[in-house]
């Protein structure tokens, strides 16, 4: 048998990507972005249908929105409320993390200056300004979850 050069790359180590906050933020950012894009299309279609595609009537609005809202599940929350609640959570994650990336990559806030380093050196994602950013993102999302839960299920 002759030896041949491989055409496929060595497979990745998934475990390497599932243990850091930066990697998880990246995963959340991508997944929430994709779901939000799909939701946006669905949302536009539903509202357009409810508005009768340019011929609004009270009846179609109530029928379509009633269908989407579904029955009540807990407290004042309908099935629709829960979907909206989950979407709002994704918006919070995507938005907070997005602002972090914009501030950092556009304005350079929190980026260290290159320096003459000694070993062991701390990579920039592990330096304090960037850690503050990441914990802020998490804090904002947690506060948002608490407020959103109150509005959706209690208020």
Partner 1 sequence: MSSVKAGLKIEVKRGTFTFRVKRYDPKTGDYRWSEYKVEVTNRQTVLDALLKIKSTQDATLAVRYSCRMGICGSCAMVINGVPRLACETKPFELGTDVITVEPLSNLKPIKDLVVDMDEFFEKHKSVKPWLIRRDEGEQFEKLDSYYVQTEEQLINYLEFAYCIKCGACYSACPMVFLNKNYLGPQALAAAYRWSADNRDEGYVLRLKVIDSDNGVWSCHYSGTCSKVCPKGVDPALAINLLKKSLLTGKPPAR
Chain residues in the site for partner 1 (CB under 8 A): 1-13, 15-17, 20, 22-23, 26, 29-30, 101, 104-108, 111-112, 114-117, 119-121, 123-126
Least distance from partner 1 to the Cβ atom of residue 127, Å: 9
Q: What are the Cα distances from residue 96, in Å, to 91, 111, 141, 151?
A: 8, 18, 7, 20
Residues 94, 29: contact at Cβ < 8 Å? Answer: yes
Q: Closer to partner 1 by CB, 55 or 116: give it.
A: 116
Least distance from partner 1 to the Cβ atom of residue 110, Å: 9
| Residue in the structure block whose two tokens are 């972090």 | 100
The C-alpha atoms of residue 39 and residue 45 are separated, in whole angstroms, by 10
Q: Closer to partner 1 by CB, 43 or 134: give it.
A: 134
């Amino acid at each position: 048998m002759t030896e041949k050069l491989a055409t496929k790359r060595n497979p990745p180590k998934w475990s390497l990507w599932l243990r850091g906050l930066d990697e998880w933020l990246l995963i959340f950012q991508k997944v929430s972005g994709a779901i939000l894009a799909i939701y946006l299309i669905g949302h536009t279609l539903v509202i357009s249908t409810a508005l009768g595609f340019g011929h609004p009537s009270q009846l179609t609005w109530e029928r379509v929105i009633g269908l989407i809202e579904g029955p009540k599940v807990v407290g004042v929350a309908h099935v629709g409320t829960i979907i909206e609640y989950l979407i709002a959570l994704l918006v919070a994650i995507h938005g907070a993390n997005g602002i972090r990336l914009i501030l950092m990559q556009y304005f350079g806030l929190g980026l260290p200056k290159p320096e003459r380093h000694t070993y062991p050196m701390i990579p920039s994602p592990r330096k304090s300004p960037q850690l503050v950013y990441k914990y802020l993102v998490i804090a904002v999302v947690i506060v948002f979850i608490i407020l959103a839960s109150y509005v959706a299920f209690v208020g």
